[in-house]
Structure 1
Amino acid sequence: MRAEKRPDAPATLQTALAQHQAGNLSQAEALYQQVLRGEPRNPVALHFSGILAHQRGNPALAVELIGRALAIRPEDAEAHFNLGAIFQQQGELRAAVRSYRDALRVNPDAAEAHINLGNTLKDLGEVDEALACYRKAVSIRPDDAAAHFNFGNLCWDMGDPGEAAAHYRSALRIRPEFADAHNNLGNALKDLGDTGEALACYRRALSIRPDYAEAHFNLGNVLRDQGDVGEAFACYRRALAIRPDYADAYSNVLFLHAYHGSLEPQEYLALARGWEQACIPERERQAARERVFRRSPLTGRRLRLGYVSGDFRTHAVSYFVEQLFTHHDRTRIELFAYSTSAERDAVTDRLQALVEHWVPSAGAPEAVLRDRIDADGIDVLVDLSGHTGHNRLGVFARRAAPVQAHYLGYFASTGLTEMDYWIGDDTLTPPEADAFYSERIWRLPRVWVAYEGKADAPAPARRAAADDAIRVGGFNHLGKLTPAALALWAGVLGALPQARLLLKTKALAEAANRRRILDAITAHGIAPERIELRDISLTPDWSSHMACYHDLDIALDPVGGIAGGTTSCDALWMGVPVVTLMGDRMASRMTASMLSALGHEEWIARTEREYIQIVLDLARDAEKRNTLRFSLRSQMAQCPLCDAGGLARSLEDAYFEMADRWQRRRTDEHQR
């Protein structure tokens, strides 16, 4: 949206346009008014007065003035385009679409109008039409970097990083200094697994634009995934210095602190409480406190339950959620799922088939999603993300339902004033942890999750090794292999001179990650030949991955960060005992909760020395390990950890009680 000289305009109007183009808004405004006093129906003066009004923060006046100009000269494609841009910026997307289409009716070859129409249609979820717009823009102006860039953005949003990368590269061939394209190419390459090139892209973007908050953030994400926590923190802090209200960067700082236990619990809680102060305007927080919900009593009707997550896809959270969705009692519960990520896969399809109401919510403004949830009449809204990727905590902070709770997806307090409950169990969240949460802890009378032990998993089998060395280790995410964990495991190897350490995770495909892990362990005097590092190249499917547990004798739960979840359950299902160190934070107690449900508290250590001793005792008792190899699966199948139906009933009872408490409070308030 810009003011340009019009050769056919009278001299005063030419001067006004020149002043406008130079940024002298007051002088331009005075000259436009002078023209309009003499010619009240001058369409050019009306049009550019409208642009000026928009620049001055008065969109209503801008729409009125440009509308008057178009009533006089309806074939002005530029005016239609500028009106569409104003509507788009104000969130009036349908009106923007009409204006852009009017512009293209007059000038079908206006590439910029095709681009903006595509962007607007994308925001409306009309993906096929948006793609057609971008294709048209590229065909009109194949040397238009913005057209390729926007085409790439849509491809990435649709889950096609390869096609997205091709368009970003086309944009960069045209504009090598296009910082946004370097950044987004980095995102696509990261999704394709090329983290080395992704890092180079982010750094190139920052060399062009050092104050590019999103590039600092994305660089931090890759460094975090590579285990370089210190540099990741630095990147997030740089992003926040540029944009103090950058909610995702603030969330990632919280995530890292919670993940690595780098703050005392009360310090973490204070920082978490600051998230909404930094990221949610005070007027919206006040409005959340004053929101009034009208819900009929639950007597005689089903409870309307909503789950919000960015992980309704192949992800550890969905592994547990799928069992829950399967077992929720539809005579008691009307189930809604709000999916906040555009990523889809076969797991997404299965989850969608299990719920009555599937609501794609990726990209929806938080106020819009809040209002949609309220309109759906949700009684209890459950967050499954916390401060992890694709979270919509801003929706919860704005209060979308009478009762709001966090469950499963995070390992510390959200810090939100409007999050009523945090769902755990007696081991995961003991009473002494209450002071570390802004939410009220709701303890289930059983283990807080349920694991589906798949019948088609490979049968447990004795390790067919060429030597008698005990194999200890695990298959956890690289981020869980903290310096504290590697040091403790080096201590295990020191106490078991014949043992070997087996670690397997996707990120070990990268040489830099392998070197870092080897260096960290060998620094404690462990010979490198005692360490075996595997990536996923030899285990392309779930069954071959699970068969790798045949090579493991004792699973070592990570310490110094987050304990195992799904990985601990997988090991146990394959007959491998898991040794864990239970700390005072929820993040370090997940495996302990599972082992308690299984009846194997003897594998829960309270100190590092005890951890090593438990491993030693198991290593020295081959007969016991052999018995466990073939009995643990049946033990699990009969314990609460594998009772998904029981978990669903327990959670449903909790949700009804939460809703009843809210109804009683509302009744009491009305009677005062």
Structure 2
Amino acid sequence: MPSPALTQRIADLSRSALSSDRPDAAETFCRLGLILDPRSGVFRHHLGLIALLHDDVAAAMPHLEAAVAAFAEDASDAARDAHRDLAVAHLMAGEGAAALECGLAAERLWPEDPGIARVTAQAAEKVGDLDAAIPRYARALAAMSQADPKRAETGFALGTALYARRRLGEAYRALRAALDANRNHAACWCNLGNVLSDLARPAEAIKAYEAALAIDPRYRNAHSNALQTLHYLPGHSAQSLKTAHLAWARRHYPDDPPRPPAPPARSRLAVGLVSEDLRRHPVGYFCAGWLRHARAAGIDAIVYSSNRTDDDLTAELRKGAAQWREVADYDDAALARAIRRDAPDVLIDLGGHTGRNRLGTFAQRPAALQATWMGYVGTTGLAQIDGLIADRFHVPKLEDSAYVEDVWRMPNGYVCYAPPAYAPEPRSGAHRRNGFISFAAFHNPAKINPDLIAAWAKILHGVPDSRIRLAFRGFDEPLVRDFVERTFQAQGIAADRLDIRGALPHAELLALYDDCDFALDAFPYAGGLTTMEALWMGIPVVAAPGATFASRHAASHIANAGFAGEVASGPSDYVRTAIAWANAPAMRDADRAARRARMAASPACDGERFAADLMRLLHAACEEER
């Protein structure tokens, strides 16, 4: 029988060789050790680690499984490490469920161990169970010292998971803790920027994105996020935004690949649509109305969908597509190859610089004619995108030079709206039921800024006893609520005149308009779908278009819904208009059912007409290209 002391000495030598980055020596010691003790969990574990160091998960797995079996119920540190590393191997193999099973088994033996908690959290996240991952990441982070080399990555993982669950304040604190451990964590700065944007702190978000780019100048997504956030900041013009977007394109995509030959002329157009938002999302709602008429209009839509989740609206959209391709797992190059095989007449980006965008595919110019539309708010900056689909309200003719792309104008609005079937019938007379005038502002908190709140406060001062209702995902976050209440308070408006609500089921949000008299648009980033929904619920919308594409959504939608005379000329007129309407029976007591009928008969909701107009627009662009 081998001497335990000799076996221990060989194990120590193996461990030392591993820690000094000498895996070949460690393997020699392990092979010798297994001759002396074939059932040793330590040597099996070390062999598994050596295989993992060589990225050979298949070779590592049987060694690690044997190690865990050999240790059985042993609660030593060596046994703990074997359990942890088996879970890690399953994660490396993409086997989230198996990794989670290993992690949970290890937790029963080492419930307070931060390493076990961390790997189990990673496994839970891998299988999509963020509610199981978050407390484990938090437990691991709390147990780690400031000097722990894994502290930054654990804080980053916790903050990212909390952000995905919309727990913004907690996400902010976790990401800050991660950055305290490692100021050079570019992805952490980027995610902190995302959190700050959603906390209605866009200027701070820009600084976070800039910090990420200072660490990694090629961090394309951080740069895109910064561009998107610029639209929320007052003071920008279409020209200043063009300059910023051109800088992005020059940094990340300086080369312009050759344009492929245009497909031969044909009576029908193959139109590629690239999006991750073809569901109950503004892009989904703006596609639904016309896509069901696309084939009759001569458009064969080839959809490249990167949806993370599908829903009932996705199913409706599928019916209008000639072909539907699931491309969520494709990288930009693979998607470009798929598009080249299909050879659409026109390829349309529906995401711009929004999250998980596909501008990297468009930069490879897989189609002869490429355009951007609806999912973003203006220029992309890419020379490889030929057209920006807009309208005369978003881009007046004298402003074409403020966009990198050629401006392709639809004859009416640049989108049309398909209201959901569950939208309730509108009811008039909210002020009579409530006993006061109520203003609706159902905007993303990212659009809320001190200048906007100052305008709203003037309106509330000008309409005694009136209230403002704010409702959107994120308003239930204490940091957002506190910002809103403090900013109103500084303008002399008490909290009891604010009705602030977080996320609501969509039907409930639409029904809430029945308790409001008027809707107040946001600036400088105007409401798009929000405006359409308010108009559909029969409620007049007070809007003040500005100098950018994003600032003109509401003005376009109001005009195309048949209410062109209801647009203010600027922030001061916006305040005067809201106060005047509150005191005008014709507006306060408007017949909302009649307003809905008027909108339903307008170009804003005429999907068949829109599809025909889109066909003519795209056909003309194709003919010009040929």
Normalising by the residue count of structure 2, what TM-score does the alignment of the two structures yield?
A: 0.81
> Is the Cα contact below 8 Å between 2:439 and 2:517 reproduced in 1?
yes
Deviation at 1:625? 3.1
Q: Which residue of 2 aligns with 1:185?
A: 158
> Is the Cα contact below 8 Å between 1:340 and 1:391 reproduced in 2?
no
Q: Residues 507 and 104 from structure 1, CA distance in 2 versus in 1: closer, same or farther, beyond 3 angstroms?
A: closer
Which amino acid is 1:101 matched to?
Answer: A
Q: Which residue of 2 aligns with 1:275?
A: 248
How many percent identity over aligned positions? 30
Q: Residues 81 and 465 from structure 1, CA distance in 2 versus in 1: closer, same or farther, beyond 3 angstroms?
A: same
> Is the Cα contact below 8 Å between 2:293 and 2:607 reproduced in 1?
yes
Matched residue SS, 1:308 = strand
> Is the Cα contact below 8 Å between 2:96 and 2:127 reproduced in 1?
no
Deviation at 1:428? 1.4
Q: Which residue of 1 aligns with 2:96?
A: 131
> Could you give the per-residue CA deviations for residues 47-72 of structure 1, whole angstroms, max 9, x where no partner exists?
xxxxxxxxxxxxxxxxxxxxxxxxxx
Matched residue SS, 1:533 = strand
Kindly report which structure 2 residues correspond to 1:337-376, keeping only aligned pairs within 5 A, or say none. Answer: 337-352=303-318, 354-362=320-328, 364-376=330-342
In structure 2, C-alpha distance between the alignment counterparts of 1:642 and 1:164, rounded to whole Å:
44
Kindly report which structure 2 residues correspond to 1:464-479, keeping only aligned pairs within 5 A, or say none. Answer: 468-479=435-446
Which amino acid is 2:245 matched to?
Answer: A
In structure 1, C-alpha distance between the alignment counterparts of 2:224 and 2:532, rounded to whole Å:
28
Q: Does 1:290 align with 2:258?
A: yes
Q: Does 1:602 align with 2:588?
A: no
Q: Residues 204 and 77 from structure 1, CA distance in 2 versus in 1: closer, same or farther, beyond 3 angstroms?
A: closer
Q: Which residue of 1 aligns with 2:58?
A: 101
Which amino acid is 1:618 matched to?
Answer: W
In structure 2, C-alpha distance between the alignment counterparts of 1:429 and 1:162, rounded to whole Å:
45
Q: Which residue of 1 aligns with 2:4?
A: none
Of residues 172, 190, 199 in structure 1, which corresponds to 2:172?
199
> Could you give the per-residue CA deviations for residues 183-240 of structure 1, whole angstroms, max 9, x where no partner exists?
1221222222322221121111112211111111111111111111222122111111
Matched residue SS, 1:650 = helix
Deviation at 1:82? 6.1
Q: Which residue of 2 aligns with 1:40?
A: none
In structure 1, C-alpha distance between the alignment counterparts of 2:498 and 2:291, rounded to whole Å:
38
Deviation at 1:555? 1.2
Q: Residues 606 and 138 from structure 1, CA distance in 2 versus in 1: closer, same or farther, beyond 3 angstroms?
A: same
Matched residue SS, 2:474 = helix
> Is the Cα contact below 8 Å between 1:514 and 1:533 reproduced in 2?
no
Which amino acid is 2:373 matched to?
Answer: Y
Q: Residues 175 and 649 from structure 1, CA distance in 2 versus in 1: closer, same or farther, beyond 3 angstroms?
A: farther
> Could you give the per-residue CA deviations for residues 593-626 of structure 1, whole angstroms, max 9, x where no partner exists?
1121123222111133322332233222224432
Q: Calculate the aligned-residue CA RMSD, in Å.
A: 3.4
Matched residue SS, 1:555 = strand
> Is the Cα contact below 8 Å between 2:559 and 2:565 reproduced in 1?
no
Which amino acid is 2:58 matched to?
Answer: R
Q: Which residue of 1 aligns with 2:219?
A: 246
Deviation at 1:468? 3.8
Q: Which residue of 1 aligns with 2:519?
A: 555
Q: Which residue of 2 aligns with 1:389?
A: 355
Deviation at 1:343? 4.1
In structure 1, C-alpha distance between the alignment counterparts of 2:88 and 2:346, rounded to whole Å:
40
Q: Does 1:210 align with 2:189?
A: no
> Is the Cα contact below 8 Å between 1:158 and 1:343 reproduced in 2?
no
Kindly report which structure 2 residues correspond to 1:519-538, keeping only aligned pairs within 5 A, or say none. Answer: 519-529=486-496, 531-536=497-502
Which amino acid is 2:99 matched to?
Answer: Y
Q: Does 1:415 align with 2:381?
A: yes
> Is the Cα contact below 8 Å between 2:467 and 2:499 reproduced in 1?
no
Which amino acid is 2:238 matched to?
Answer: P
Which amino acid is 2:258 matched to?
Answer: E
In structure 2, C-alpha distance between the alignment counterparts of 1:149 and 1:314, rounded to whole Å:
34
Deviation at 1:407? 0.4
Matched residue SS, 1:507 = coil
Q: Which residue of 1 aligns with 2:365?
A: 399
Deviation at 1:406? 0.5
> Could you give the per-residue CA deviations for residues 62-98 of structure 1, whole angstroms, max 9, x where no partner exists?
xxxxxxxxxxxxxx98887666x3xxxxxxxxxxxxx
Q: Residues 464 and 257 from structure 1, CA distance in 2 versus in 1: closer, same or farther, beyond 3 angstroms?
A: closer
In structure 2, C-alpha distance between the alignment counterparts of 1:344 and 1:645, rounded to whole Å:
25
Q: Which residue of 2 aligns with 1:165?
A: 134
Q: Which ranges of structure 1 fall in alignment gaps of 5 or more residues?
A: 1-6, 8-13, 33-42, 45-75, 86-98, 122-129, 665-672
Q: Which residue of 2 aligns with 1:568?
A: 531
Q: Which residue of 2 aligns with 1:219?
A: 192
Kindly report which structure 2 residues correspond to 1:3-22, keeping only aligned pairs within 5 A, or say none. Answer: none
Which amino acid is 1:162 matched to?
Answer: D
Q: Residues 492 and 19 from structure 1, CA distance in 2 versus in 1: closer, same or farther, beyond 3 angstroms?
A: closer
Deviation at 1:430? 1.0
Matched residue SS, 1:329 = helix
In structure 1, C-alpha distance between the alignment counterparts of 2:278 and 2:128, rounded to whole Å:
14
Q: Does 1:544 align with 2:508?
A: yes
In structure 1, C-alpha distance between the alignment counterparts of 2:128 and 2:391, rounded to whole Å:
37
Q: Which residue of 2 aligns with 1:504?
A: 471
Which amino acid is 1:237 matched to?
Answer: E
> Could you give the per-residue CA deviations for residues 238-263 of structure 1, whole angstroms, max 9, x where no partner exists?
11111111111111211121232443
Equivalences, count: 569
Q: Does 1:334 align with 2:300?
A: yes
Give the stretch that moved more between structures: 622-631 or 643-652: 622-631
Q: Which residue of 2 aligns with 1:430?
A: 396
Give the stretch that moved more between structures: 208-217 or 334-343: 334-343
Q: Does 1:590 align with 2:553?
A: yes
> Is the Cα contact below 8 Å between 2:90 and 2:96 reproduced in 1?
no
In structure 1, C-alpha distance between the alignment counterparts of 2:508 and 2:252, rounded to whole Å:
44
Q: Residues 166 and 20 from structure 1, CA distance in 2 versus in 1: closer, same or farther, beyond 3 angstroms?
A: closer
Which amino acid is 1:197 matched to?
Answer: E
Deviation at 1:337? 2.6
> Is the Cα contact below 8 Å between 2:306 and 2:326 reproduced in 1?
yes
Matched residue SS, 2:371 = strand
Q: Residues 131 and 510 from structure 1, CA distance in 2 versus in 1: closer, same or farther, beyond 3 angstroms?
A: closer
Kindly report which structure 2 residues correspond to 1:30-109, keeping only aligned pairs within 5 A, or say none. Answer: 85=55, 100-101=57-58, 104=61, 109=66
> Is the Cα contact below 8 Å between 2:124 and 2:133 reproduced in 1?
yes
Deviation at 1:119? 4.2
> Is the Cα contact below 8 Å between 1:412 and 1:586 reproduced in 2?
yes
In structure 1, C-alpha distance between the alignment counterparts of 2:593 and 2:310, rounded to whole Å:
37
Q: Does 1:513 align with 2:476?
A: no
Give the stretch that moved more between structures: 636-645 or 355-364: 355-364
In structure 1, C-alpha distance between the alignment counterparts of 2:485 and 2:142, rounded to whole Å:
40
In structure 2, C-alpha distance between the alignment counterparts of 1:580 and 1:601, rounded to whole Å:
11
> Is the Cα contact below 8 Å between 2:526 and 2:554 reproduced in 1?
yes
Q: Which residue of 1 aligns with 2:44?
A: none
Q: Which ranges of structure 2 fall in alignment gaps of 5 or more residues?
A: 1-6, 8-12, 29-46, 68-81
Q: Residues 555 and 642 from structure 1, CA distance in 2 versus in 1: closer, same or farther, beyond 3 angstroms?
A: same
In structure 1, C-alpha distance between the alignment counterparts of 2:278 and 2:115, rounded to whole Å:
32
Q: Residues 313 and 457 from structure 1, CA distance in 2 versus in 1: closer, same or farther, beyond 3 angstroms?
A: closer
Deviation at 1:167? 5.4
> Is the Cα contact below 8 Å between 2:543 and 2:568 reproduced in 1?
yes
In structure 2, C-alpha distance between the alignment counterparts of 1:105 and 1:506, rounded to whole Å:
47
Q: Which residue of 1 aligns with 2:77?
A: none
Of residues 393, 407, 410 in structure 2, which corresponds to 1:441?
407
Deviation at 1:365? 2.7
> Could you give the per-residue CA deviations for residues 14-51 of structure 1, whole angstroms, max 9, x where no partner exists?
9xx9899579xxxx9xxx9xxxxxxxxxx99xxxxxxx
